[in-house]
Amino acid sequence: MHEEIILAGFGGQGVLLLGKLLSEAAMEEGRNVSWLPSYGPEMRGGTANANVIISDEQIGSPIIIESTIVVAMNRPSLEKFEKTLVKDGILFINSSIIDVEPVRKDIQVIKVPANEIASNLGNLKIANIVMAGAIIKKTQIVKLETFIDVIKNNFTSKKTSLIDINLKALEEGAKSIS
């Protein structure tokens, strides 16, 4: 397995955390991992993206030129990163806020109403974990059980109260994939 993933959205949408959690889950499963976050100076509301590489082989560079998976949490991210996908790559779109169709016809497009699901669960900040559930269900990039353990290990002390809602978000994101 060798996946090159670009996760992108506005600052505050949790794309960097999503990349970190996916990376940790892959490491727990014994894979080689690279996580390279990038964000604009504006932080919340600015642009943010993370390059995540998960591989059974050694990783030569953390820079992604051609991605196998793109997660676009907003329209600017779709417009910027759709073109990086390889033929037959997978594009996950946050269909709650992206109101345009992708340009390319040679890729798989998975629409996930991440914001809508998160809002229905009572917290828009968990849209990233909704998307994680969809990614894991569609790609099997990591085991769901491993990702659950990573959530539990990352949400400690004051954040333990967020574990249950994040696990529900993960479950609902997985259910969104038919």
Domain extent listing, the chain = 2-175
Q: How confident is the model over 23-80, as pLDDT tens digits?
A: 999 999 999 999 998 876 655 556 789 999 999 999 988 889 999 999 999 999 999 9
Q: Which residues of 16-53 are buried (b: 16+ CB within 10 A; e: fewer)?
A: bbbbbbbbbbbbbeebebbbeeebeeeeeeebbbbbbb
Q: Work out the mean pLDDT of the chain and round it to a whole number.
A: 92
For 2-175, which CATH class?
Answer: alpha beta
- Report the alpha-carbon distance of residue 54 to residue 11 in Å, rounded: 23
Yes or no: say if 74 and 10 are a contact pair by the CB < 8 Å rule: yes
Q: What is the pLDDT of residues 134-166, one digit of tens each?
A: 999 999 999 999 999 999 998 877 877 788 899
The amino acid at residue 101 is E
What is the pTM (predicted TM-score) of this model? 0.91
